[in-house]
Structure 1
Amino acid sequence: MTVHDRSAFIIGGTGQIGRATAARLTAAGYTVTLGQRRLRPDAPASDGVVSVQVDRADTDALLKALDGHDLVVDTVAFAPHHGAQLARLAGRVGSLVVISTGAVYQAPGLPVPIPETWPTVERDTHDYPAGKAALERLLLATPGLPVSILRTGVLHGPYGKSLDHWSFIKRALDKRPHVVIAQGGRSRFPTTAVANIAELILLCARQPAARVLNIADDPLTVAEIGARVFAVMGHEAEIVTFEGPSRPDGLGFHPWNVPEPIVFSLDKARDELGYRPAVSYDDALRQVIEWAVPAVADGQGWQEVFPDLIARHGPDVWFPYAAEDAYVLPGDGHRV
């Protein structure tokens, strides 16, 4: 039995990052408190994990709950007013880790790979990247605050509301013989397994400092991602590509659809903290597939399990099987 001699508090502890982090921290000897706006019956429950109800809009109550912990992890900080709350933890907690996003990087003209020193967006808007960037600046400017800001790619792991890999997982379940991919199948867009975020959070907790770190998987092309998903699921399918963007009927669509590669540098996490992935890409795929397939099969459609996929891309572009079949002519290998 693990001896829990350190304490951590996770704001947003029932999401996919919170669940993975709670498991990693308890294994490392932390007692973990999950902060929830409304207590949920499906919240993680195990040795060393407890749940409390706290409304982050009530700053005094939130700070009282966070005071004195060795580690505070905030998975749901999105805007400067959240940063103003967290800034008041200077001198009151051992380490603070805040989840941000690679969407803060200023484009176009992104280098390959992108270092943490690349400029972030500064536009005066209320959209997601601008809010995260402003949050980061506020926290990093706070004296005495040991805050590690983690810039992630598109998340994948159990309990997520979005799973880009579903584009290939469902095709394997449907035993599709082929998939058609736009942009020559060369698109690269960072993905991040939540188990590896949890590993980096633990390293940050052990070495508190004010810093920014990228965290992402190996920079695979979309064609390579499809091949890895099919291999893990024991499915054989031809990956057919064409140049240019996807078509209006959805042919060629995939959620990594960018014309230029977007790749994060992980040198800083490796060099400063000794980061190494806790799980391989294939093992991370197995974990999410083992959760996602039963979740979709349990009386819900995939649209209900992954509503954020629909919110981001709409409902009609995901599985244009008739268009794919028309494009891939059987037998002679020609394309139309």
Structure 2
Amino acid sequence: MPRALILGGTGLVGRAIASRLLEAGWQVDVTGRDPARMPAELAAAGGEFIAAERTDGGQVRAALGPGADLLVDCLCYTAADARSLLPLAANSASTVLISSRAVYVDSVGHHVNSDTPPRFEAPIPETQPTLAPTTDIDHRSREGYGANKVAAEQVALESGLPISVVRPSQIHGVGASPAREWAVVKRVLDRRTALLLARRGAGAVHGTAAANLAALVETVAARPGARVLNCADPDAPSVLEICRTIAGHLGHEWAEVLLDDTAPADLGRTPWDSAHPIVLDTTAATALGYRPAGSYATTIAPALDWLVEAAGNGQLPVDEGYFAEYFDYAAEDAFLAG
């Protein structure tokens, strides 16, 4: 039985990867700080929790033990994190470092976290220029997140070890934080009769289902190598299509009000707004043998059900500050009345 160790395996990405591997017959160990956060479905499927702090080299080496067939690092944010990963990767047949599409820059250096939105002229390949690597800016900041990821990637790729760097985009699924779909689900639960969408709902930001990310990790496990791979859903629906998918799944109907540039700028906002499309090219992953678990509509369905159930139980882990701008119903009603 092959063995996988997932560092930070109790979160959105780790639990999806663990679930897929367990279903495929793997022995799966996941690390985390708190055993109470071990997803019940993983424990029921035979997954094992190992208490280990990602930044504690001794604890993660003990978790790895004599080695693994697959090592997945969901918590590698900096060059220092990557350097601590290398001794573990040396004792693993295949290693995956979860990175981000936030590393990419357009032709003038803009990126997804810059004040000026980026403009990518075509689906973004792995060869697209990236931010300059840095270790001088906090990786938890807008300015530092992508640049620190680049620094981590370089340490991994220059090691000569079979480490696959995987770059997803706006990961979604059960347990997501933030669960961007809440911006629409709450409207359904509030029985809103109209949906206002900026830019006529035409914005498009590629998403990555955690289930699709898990499918790529399983593919990489069987084909070790040093490489960079984009990972995204097989489709990149527009904001309007995303909202129709969510409303349709929840059986809700409303009037769609597609706003143009003459509408107030703060109306019709969603987490998928983008002045220009942000779409990843996944040709390299497909050529490696990656087959998505499903489309956006297919993979988002369990997450929508989770959000509705969690909201009904009063257990929804939502950052109200993140979503505040999407629920100004008074401004919407005033606009519609006018």
TM-score (normalizing by structure 2): 0.88
Q: Using a 3 Å threshold, how does the CA distance of structure 1 residues 47 and 186 change in structure 2: closer, same or farther?
A: closer
Deviation at 1:231? 1.3
* SS of alignment partner, residue 116 of structure 1: coil
Q: Is the 8 A contact 2:7 2:72 kept in 1?
A: yes
Deviation at 1:291? 1.1
State the alpha-carbon separation in 1 of the partners of residues 200 and 241 from structure 2. Answer: 12
Residue 128 of structure 2: which of 118, 121, 125 is its match? 118
Residue 4 of structure 2: which of 5, 8, 14 is its match? 8
Residue 53 of structure 2: which of 45, 52, 55 is its match? 55
Query: Which stretch of the first structure deviates more once superposed, 250-259 or 57-66?
Result: 57-66
Aligned pairs for 1:214-293 (under 5 A) are 214-217=230-233, 218-244=235-261, 247=264, 250-271=266-287, 273-293=288-308
Residue 320 of structure 1: which of 328, 331, 335 is its match? 328
Q: Which amino acid aligns with 2:80?
A: H
Q: Which amino acid aligns with 2:294?
A: V
Find the counterpart in structure 1 of residue 14 from structure 2.
18
Where does structure 1 lack aligned partners over 5 or more consecutive residues?
330-335
* SS of alignment partner, residue 142 of structure 1: coil
* SS of alignment partner, residue 71 of structure 1: strand
Q: Is the 8 A contact 1:246 1:252 kept in 2?
A: no
* SS of alignment partner, residue 48 of structure 2: strand
State the alpha-carbon separation in 1 of the partners of residues 105 and 22 from structure 2. Answer: 37
Find the counterpart in structure 2 of residue 86 from structure 1.
85
Deviation at 1:204? 0.5
Residue 164 of structure 2: which of 138, 148, 163 is its match? 148
State the alpha-carbon separation in 2 of the partners of residues 323 and 39 from structure 1. Answer: 44
Find the counterpart in structure 1 of residue 191 from structure 2.
175
State the alpha-carbon separation in 1 of the partners of residues 190 and 331 from structure 2. Answer: 16
Find the counterpart in structure 1 of residue 35 from structure 2.
39
Q: Is the 8 A contact 1:121 1:133 kept in 2?
A: yes
Q: Using a 3 Å threshold, how does the CA distance of structure 1 residues 54 and 316 change in structure 2: closer, same or farther?
A: closer
State the alpha-carbon separation in 2 of the partners of residues 119 and 38 from structure 1. Answer: 38
State the alpha-carbon separation in 1 of the partners of residues 163 and 85 from structure 2. Answer: 9
Q: Is the 8 A contact 1:246 1:253 kept in 2?
A: no
Q: Is the 8 A contact 1:26 1:48 kept in 2?
A: yes
Query: Which stretch of the first structure deviates more once superposed, 25-34 or 288-297?
Result: 288-297
Q: Is the 8 A contact 2:246 2:304 kept in 1?
A: no
Find the counterpart in structure 2 of residue 306 from structure 1.
318
Find the counterpart in structure 2 of residue 333 from structure 1.
none
Query: Which stretch of the first structure deviates more once superposed, 27-36 or 121-130?
Result: 121-130
Superposition RMSD in Å: 1.9
Find the counterpart in structure 2 of residue 332 from structure 1.
none
Q: Using a 3 Å threshold, how does the CA distance of structure 1 residues 246 and 159 change in structure 2: closer, same or farther?
A: farther
TM-score (normalizing by structure 1): 0.88
Off by >6 Å, runs of 4+ in structure 1: none
Equivalent pairs: percent with the same residue? 36
State the alpha-carbon separation in 1 of the partners of residues 76 and 89 from structure 2. Answer: 17
Query: Which stretch of the first structure deviates more once superposed, 319-328 or 66-75?
Result: 319-328
Q: Using a 3 Å threshold, how does the CA distance of structure 1 residues 49 and 132 change in structure 2: closer, same or farther?
A: same
Q: What is the CA deviation profile of residues 123-151 of structure 1, one whole-angstrom value per residue up to 9, with x for unaligned ones?
A: 643311111111111101112x1111111
State the alpha-carbon separation in 1 of the partners of residues 188 and 307 from structure 2. Answer: 13
Q: Is the 8 A contact 1:30 1:48 kept in 2?
A: no
Q: How many residues align?
A: 316
Find the counterpart in structure 1 of residue 71 from structure 2.
72
Deviation at 1:41? 5.4
State the alpha-carbon separation in 1 of the partners of residues 232 and 25 from structure 2. Answer: 25
